[in-house]
Structure 1
Amino acid sequence: MKKLVLKLLAVYTLIGCAVPHKAVAQMALDNSEIEASMIKALEWQEAHPIFAIAPTDWTAGAYYTGVARAHKTTKDMMYMAALKNQAYNNDWQTYNRLYHADDVAISYSYLYVGMNDNRPGFVNLEPTQKFLDAHLFEDNIWKSGKDKTTSGKTILWWWCDALFMAPPVLNLYAKHTNQPKYLDEMHKFYMETYNQLFDKEERLFARDMRYVWKGNNKDEKEPNGKKIFWSRGNGWVLGGLALLLDDMPKEYKHRPFYENLFKVMASRILELQPEDGLWRTSLLCPEAYDHGEVSGSGFYTFALAWGVNNGILDKAKYQPAVKKAWQALKKCQHSDGRVGWVQNIGASPEPASADSWQNFGTGAFLMAGSEVLKLK
């Protein structure tokens, strides 16, 4: 009898893990539950600060972008309090590598605060302006093409993660200050990265030139012989595209390029979603990992949900995938609010675990929740 019960339980579990898309589409989302999960994630992360280099680095930038998006949707002042506190404590500074896109990601949160707080003298965007002007208009070794390392550091944004770090900031800065020249410069450098790293056959971005195949002689391959495409790397790009399109003027001359790229990547990411809802760290070799990863999956969930909510992606086709992904993301959150199953800082597919966490993983979780809340 005991064996029979165990067998029935196993069958039930398998059925529960493989929920058909049609059934998922009919699932009712509990917005109060989603909001509670997001607040718990915020509270835990604020109580356990972590960063790679400094409180103004890219990890904090990605996290507070998630906090900004959570506030934009919910208007809960807990998010705004966290945004203002970190901006004030950082003295509104970027990190110090003016040529490096990572080091201005924190400014997305500063700009968001600036667009929502009109108190004289509180917001200081001068450090952001200084960074952007140097980043775009001054020479550096990457722009000159003189760095010949294997990563292909011959353009300003030589790694795909950069497309999340700097472009949404430039876009938002152009909008906030009504200076379209920053948007035009953003497009110029974005196209350099696209032309160098986007694989039109796979409809995905290589992380950098080390992972760009040249014929069939490339040594960097997955165990199954396929190209290496990193989940979080493509999550950075797709999530960044959603951020870009959200603030980009509808009449902007290059907007059709970004909308098309968003739809092309979204369709590929949808094709690659595993049955349990979470994307593995390796997109084309998911069998190498026995569990999904939260940061890449969080960015995908945010982007796909944003596409549905804004009428760019077909609701009937994409919403079931978003719901399935959100349900899977929730299962990766510990009871205390910590978001686990986040791959640590890296540049290629690596394992994650229930206990691995990073602030940018929490940011991705908050970004996902901010758009899932809007699903109808």
Structure 2
Amino acid sequence: MKRLIAVILSVWVLIGTTAAQQTETEKYFDGCYIKKTMQNALDWQLHHPSHKLWDWTNGAFYAGVFAAYETLESENIYKAIYAMGESTKWKPGPRLHHADDHAICQTYIDMYRVAGEKKMIQPFIETMDEFMVTPYQTAEIRKITWWWCDALFMAPPALVKLGVTLDDNKYLELNDKLFKECYDLLYDKEEDLYARDIRYKWDEPGIETTKEANGKKIFWSRGNGWVMGGLVRVLKELPENWPTRDFYLQNFKEMAAKVVELQQADGLWRASLLDPDSYPGGEGSGSGFFTYALAWGVNNGILDKDEYLPAVEKAWVGLSSLIQPDGRVGWVQPIGADPRKNFSAESWEVYGTGAFLLAGSEIIKLER
């Protein structure tokens, strides 16, 4: 009898523990929790600015800030974005052909669509007019205009947004050309991932490449996160009948399938995708962009809900665990061209916060 009672008690404890764990998990998907966490992360980051406002780092951050503005419907967030634009005079960065310096223009265009003030996009229009008539100077590593995979988040959404806003296909056509060049150079069709740049391609004649400790190719989490985030932001804009839309859609689906395979037990992704054992901590920025992209795919019926929703839910719970008590998004890898930089709970960067805000803006739309 005592043994039976003990078994019954054990079962009840197990049921109670499981229920408590489920309740704890569910809180991460409550709309109020998501909004509060996004607001706290945004507030912390706005009070801890970093880099020049037109810099690519802030291009990613303010993409997230605008997503937070749409999600939270806060006039104060709108004012913060407007103040940023006024400070930069709504100009891109100074490097004409460099995709990084065009990233901030995504937010300028988003703001123009709300406010209708031509000053918000005129400098970018003038920059692109010059861009299109000025030859790009190639080099051994920089063989094409967008020669590194991160560029596919920075410039393509800005170009496509501009073309759609102005109803001018020349910007979409330019994006198609430059995006496809980058794809042809860096996309690994065996792994369905992008090399960071030509130095990480094993089959490139005359280029010495390094390997991970396990002998696998180096595929950087954040670099591929940039690409998936960029694909989302291009697909959101492209007309349904645009001739090359299926190319972007196929690339997105291939990468999504691979990325889910590489998700770790804690829901996050490691700084190096194919050698997680060498990078035991979940990395905030790459994981943030993957969460954003996968959630968007589910929300828009592009990714099968039954197959991908569990990965999205696990990713958001993992990502939420990186939020520090003061609101900062921790565990963000510092600036660099590959995974080999240490980071910790204290490590933050504005693009990590941007990725988190973008993720939150899609997670809150999930129909679970």
Secondary structure of the residue that 1:240 maps to in structure 2?
helix
Picking from 125, 128, 145, the partner of 2:124 is 128
Distance 1:183 1:208 in 2: 23
Distance 1:136 1:356 in 2: 39
AA partner of residue 173 (structure 2): D
Equivalent residue, structure 1, for 2:5 = none
**RMSD between aligned alpha carbons?**
2.0
Checking the alignment, whether the CA contact within 8 Å between 1:73 and 1:371 is kept in structure 2 is no
Equivalent residue, structure 2, for 1:58 = 56
Match status 1:342 vs 2:342: no
1:279-290 superposed matches below 5 A = 279-290=269-280
AA partner of residue 355 (structure 2): A
Which range moves more in the overlay, 183-192 or 123-132? 123-132
> Which ranges in structure 2 are unaligned for 5 or more consecutive residues?
1-13
Match status 1:189 vs 2:215: no
Equivalent residue, structure 2, for 1:173 = 162
Cα distance change of structure 1 residues 286 and 139 upon mapping to structure 2, 3 Å threshold: same
Match status 1:137 vs 2:133: yes
AA partner of residue 96 (structure 2): L
> How far is the alpha carbon of 1:75 from its aligned partner?
2.5
Distance 1:295 1:329 in 2: 9
Cα distance change of structure 1 residues 327 and 190 upon mapping to structure 2, 3 Å threshold: same
Distance 2:294 2:349 in 1: 22
Distance 2:296 2:131 in 1: 29
Match status 1:227 vs 2:225: no
Distance 2:240 2:69 in 1: 23
Which range moves more in the overlay, 72-81 or 86-95? 72-81
Q: 1:323-364 CA distances to partner (integer Å, 9 max, x unpaired)? A: 111111111111111111000000101332100000011000
Equivalent residue, structure 2, for 1:374 = 365
Distance 2:156 2:225 in 1: 15
AA partner of residue 165 (structure 1): M
Distance 2:26 2:274 in 1: 29
Match status 1:365 vs 2:363: no
Distance 2:38 2:277 in 1: 30
Secondary structure of the residue that 1:221 maps to in structure 2?
coil
Q: 1:31-84 CA distances to partner (integer Å, 9 max, x unpaired)? A: 110110000111111111001xx2211011110011112223332323322211
Equivalent residue, structure 2, for 1:113 = 111
Secondary structure of the residue that 2:60 maps to in structure 1?
helix
Equivalent residue, structure 2, for 1:104 = 102
Q: 1:165-185 CA distances to partner (integer Å, 9 max, x unpaired)? A: 000000000011111110011
Secondary structure of the residue that 1:93 maps to in structure 2?
coil
Distance 2:99 2:127 in 1: 10
- What is the TM-score with the length of structure 2 in the denominator? 0.90
AA partner of residue 144 (structure 2): I
AA partner of residue 41 (structure 1): A
Checking the alignment, whether the CA contact within 8 Å between 1:92 and 1:125 is kept in structure 2 is yes
Distance 2:99 2:209 in 1: 28
Distance 1:136 1:227 in 2: 35
Checking the alignment, whether the CA contact within 8 Å between 1:105 and 1:165 is kept in structure 2 is yes
Distance 1:110 1:96 in 2: 16
Equivalent residue, structure 2, for 1:48 = 48
Secondary structure of the residue that 2:115 maps to in structure 1?
coil
AA partner of residue 168 (structure 2): Q
AA partner of residue 370 (structure 1): S
Cα distance change of structure 1 residues 91 and 349 upon mapping to structure 2, 3 Å threshold: same
Cα distance change of structure 1 residues 246 and 73 upon mapping to structure 2, 3 Å threshold: farther
Q: How many residue pairs were aligned?
A: 346
Distance 1:273 1:218 in 2: 29
Secondary structure of the residue that 2:210 maps to in structure 1?
coil
- What is the TM-score with the length of structure 1 in the denominator? 0.88
> How far is the alpha carbon of 1:132 from its aligned partner?
1.9
Which range moves more in the overlay, 301-310 or 84-93? 84-93
AA partner of residue 360 (structure 2): G
Checking the alignment, whether the CA contact within 8 Å between 1:104 and 1:131 is kept in structure 2 is no
Match status 1:85 vs 2:79: no
Q: Specify the structure having the higher radius of gyration (Cα).
A: 2
Secondary structure of the residue that 1:141 maps to in structure 2?
coil
1:4-83 superposed matches below 5 A = 27=26, 29-51=29-51, 54-83=52-81
Checking the alignment, whether the CA contact within 8 Å between 1:245 and 1:259 is kept in structure 2 is yes
Q: Percent identity?
A: 47
Distance 2:271 2:249 in 1: 25
Checking the alignment, whether the CA contact within 8 Å between 1:100 and 1:135 is kept in structure 2 is no
Checking the alignment, whether the CA contact within 8 Å between 2:199 and 2:209 is kept in structure 1 is no
Distance 2:155 2:300 in 1: 23
1:247-326 superposed matches below 5 A = 247-326=237-316
Which range moves more in the overlay, 133-142 or 103-112? 133-142
> How far is the alpha carbon of 1:93 from its aligned partner?
1.2
> How far is the alpha carbon of 1:27 from its aligned partner?
4.4
1:203-222 superposed matches below 5 A = 203-214=192-203, 219-222=209-212
Distance 2:324 2:114 in 1: 32
Secondary structure of the residue that 1:282 maps to in structure 2?
coil
